[in-house]
Structure 1
Amino acid sequence: MPTTPSPARSSSSSTGLRLPTAWAYTSRWAIISRPMEEKDCLSRLQKLCSKAEYCEADVYKKALKYMDSDAEAAARITRSLVEERYVDDLRFAGAYVREKANIQGWGPVKIRFQLRAKGVKDAVIGEALGEIEPRKAGEKLDRLMAAKAKSLKGDPQLRLKLLRFGLSRGYGYEDVEASLGRIKNNA
Structure 2
Amino acid sequence: MMDVEKAFGKIASLCARQEMCASDIRKKLLKWEMPHADAEKVVARLISEKFIDDARYAGFYVRDKYRFNKWGKDKIRWQLRLKSISDEVINEALASIPDEEYSNNLQQLLKTKNRQLKQDDPYKRKAALMRYAASRGFKSDEIANALKNLLLMEDDF
Using the size of structure 2 for normalisation, the TM-score is: 0.93
1:81 deviates by: 0.2
Structure 1 unmatched runs, 5+: 1-34
Question: What is the letter of the counterpart of residue 44 of structure 1?
Answer: K
Identity over aligned pairs, percent: 33
Q: Tell me how far apart the structure 1 counterparts of residues 3 and 34 of structure 2 sit (CA, whole Å).
A: 13
Residue 57 in structure 1 maps to residue 23 in structure 2: yes
- In structure 1, the residue matched to 2:143 is 176
Q: Secondary structure at the match of 2:10?
A: helix
- In structure 1, the residue matched to 2:129 is 162
Higher RCO structure, 1 or 2 (CA under 8 Å, sep 6+): 2
Match of 1:118 among 73, 83, 88: 83
Higher gyration radius (CA): 1
1:153 deviates by: 3.9
- In structure 2, the residue matched to 1:86 is 51
- In structure 1, the residue matched to 2:5 is 39
Number of residue pairs the alignment of both structures matches: 152
1:154 deviates by: 3.6
Q: Tell me how far apart the structure 2 counterparts of residues 178 and 75 of structure 1 sit (CA, whole Å).
A: 46
Across the aligned residues of Structure 1 and Structure 2, the Cα RMSD in angstroms comes to 1.0
Question: What is the letter of the counterpart of residue 60 of structure 1?
Answer: R
Question: What is the letter of the counterpart of residue 27 of structure 2?
Answer: K
1:59 deviates by: 0.8
Q: Which has the higher helix share?
A: 2
Q: Which has the higher strand share?
A: 1
1:155 deviates by: 3.5
